[in-house]
């Protein structure tokens, strides 16, 4: 006998199961049958909540980005200089927890360009506000006007995501670029030489 659960619970269970499977083997190698088996529901229930497997991928990415955004916001609103916050953000375990190599490899395939673009929008929507706060703080710490911090951090974030898709950007490279754009590297150089 199946256990009756609220629709939101069942949907969340399927997303959690898919998330785990996608992290282990990517979404290309994960079948809908594997997802529903992991949750012990009928295959038809999957299609009740998700029109396609791509919709499930989007739901998993939304969960990741929501988590990443909350973690990034906590760092951005916490104590410390902008450079310290950027370092904590860069070194946080959340990146490896969410976007594993199998998941990223599948998202970067040419046939999944629309899913990658959707992921970029979600990353910017969730993580962008925290980066904006850190960029604005960095600019103020440097004595600069922070009026364009939001646009600057948004352009940088989208640019990094597009370069990462092509394999031309690492986490270290992204942090270095952000530091240069906000003047954090010159603050560090001044502190070392001052």
* 169-188 average pLDDT score: 70
- In this prediction, residue 192 carries a pLDDT of 45
Asked whether residue 2 is domain-assigned, the answer is no
Does residue 170 share a domain with residue 85? yes
Which CATH number do you get for residue 176?
1.10.357
Does residue 41 share a domain with residue 70? no
Asked whether residue 114 is domain-assigned, the answer is yes
Pairwise pLDDT comparison (94 vs 30), residue with the higher score:
30
- In this prediction, residue 81 carries a pLDDT of 93
Does residue 97 share a domain with residue 188? yes
Cβ atoms 116, 159 nearer than 8 A: no
Does residue 69 share a domain with residue 32? no
What is the tens place of the pLDDT at every residue in 124-174? 999 999 999 998 998 898 888 888 888 888 888 888 888 888 777 776 777
> Both ends of the chain: CA-CA distance in Å?
72
Asked whether residue 54 is domain-assigned, the answer is no
- In this prediction, residue 165 carries a pLDDT of 80
Which CATH number do you get for residue 38?
1.10.10.60
Q: Is the pLDDT of residue 37 over 60?
A: yes
Residues 6+ apart with CB under 8 A from 31: none
* 29-51 average pLDDT score: 94
CA 85/CA 74 separation, integer angstroms: 10
Angle between helix 113-141 and helix 184-193 axes, rounded to 10 deg: 40
What is the tens place of the pLDDT at every residue in 69-124? 999 999 999 999 998 998 888 888 877 777 778 898 899 899 999 999 999 999 99
Q: Is the pLDDT of residue 1 over 70?
A: no
Asked whether residue 71 is domain-assigned, the answer is yes
Q: Is the pLDDT of residue 193 over 50?
A: no
Does residue 139 share a domain with residue 118? yes
Structure tokens at 53: 């497997």
- In this prediction, residue 2 carries a pLDDT of 62
CA 34/CA 50 separation, integer angstroms: 15
Phi-psi region of 2 (alpha: psi -120 to 50; beta: other; left: phi over 0): beta
Task: Give me the residue label for tokens 């791509």.
Answer: 54
Does residue 100 share a domain with residue 13? no
Q: What share of the chain is helix, strand, coil (3-state, %, to 5)?
A: 80, 0, 20
Residues 6+ apart with CB under 8 A from 73: 129, 130, 133
Cβ atoms 27, 106 nearer than 8 A: yes
What is the tens place of the pLDDT at every residue in 43-79? 999 999 999 999 999 999 999 999 999 999 999 999 9
Q: Is the pLDDT of residue 185 over 80?
A: no
Its domain, for residue 95, covers 62-193
What is the tens place of the pLDDT at every residue in 2-28? 666 787 888 999 999 999 999 999 999
Asked whether residue 133 is domain-assigned, the answer is yes
């Amino acid at each position: 006998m199946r256990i009756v659960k609220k629709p939101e619970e069942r949907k969340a269970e399927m997303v959690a199961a898919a998330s785990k499977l996608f992290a282990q083997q990517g979404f290309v190698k994960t079948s809908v049958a594997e997802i529903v088996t992991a949750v012990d529901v009928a295959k038809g229930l999957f299609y009740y909540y998700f029109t396609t497997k791509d919709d499930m991928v989007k739901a998993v990415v939304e969960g990741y980005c929501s988590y990443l955004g909350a973690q990034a916001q906590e760092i951005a609103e916490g104590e410390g200089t902008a450079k310290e916050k950027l370092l904590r953000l860069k070194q946080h375990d959340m990146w490896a927890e969410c976007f594993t190599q199998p998941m990223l490899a599948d998202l970067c395939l040419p046939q999944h360009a629309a899913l990658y673009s959707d992921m970029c929008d979600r990353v910017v929507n969730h993580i962008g506000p925290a980066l904006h706060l850190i960029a604005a703080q960095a600019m103020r710490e440097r004595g600069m006007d922070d009026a364009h911090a939001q646009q600057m951090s948004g352009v940088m974030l989208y640019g990094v995501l597009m370069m990462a898709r092509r394999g031309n950007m690492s986490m270290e490279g992204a942090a270095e670029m952000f530091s240069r754009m906000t003047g954090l590297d010159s603050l560090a150089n001044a502190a070392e030489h001052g």
